[in-house]
Amino acid sequence: MDAIKLMTQSSLKAEKPVFEIGDTVRVHVRIIEGSKSRVQIFEGIVIAMKHGGVNETFTVRRTSYGVGVERVFPVNSPIVEKVDVVRHGQVRRAKLYYLRDRVGKAAKLKERI
């Protein structure tokens, strides 16, 4: 049992990124192609956060060329280099799945002051 606790504590990141649901974030993701690696940026709105501890994930949604794209990122994954908050959105829900049905200005969120 102690080995499981040590394993979970060692796999947590030292500094967890600070952001909330509704925030527009810029996620820096390490992409490995063959022997080379590069950092790719994925920017969008955080529509969900799930689980907790080691298994914590967050879902980021954006529209690219008229098509909705969602990616799920593990918070403690080594492929996630860093998460920058672009703006804070004002929301009253824990999950923003209703944004999937909205297009254009209707899919925008008010900015939190």
CATH number at residue 73: 2.30.30.790
* pLDDT for position 2: 62
Whether 25 shows a pLDDT value over 90: the answer reads yes
Question: Which residue type occupies 16?
Answer: K
Asked if 93 and 21 count as a contact pair (C-beta separation under 8 A), the reply is yes
Per the domain annotation, does 18 fall within a domain?
yes
Per the domain annotation, does 109 fall within a domain?
no
Q: What is the mean pLDDT of residues 14-20?
A: 90
Q: What is the mean pLDDT of residues 76-104?
A: 95
Per the domain annotation, does 108 fall within a domain?
no
**Domain enclosing residue 92, as ranges:** 2-103
Per the domain annotation, does 86 fall within a domain?
yes
Per the domain annotation, does 64 fall within a domain?
yes
Domain count for the chain, please give it: 1
* pLDDT for position 14: 85
CB atoms within 10 A of CB 74: 14
Q: What is the mean pLDDT of residues 58-87?
A: 95
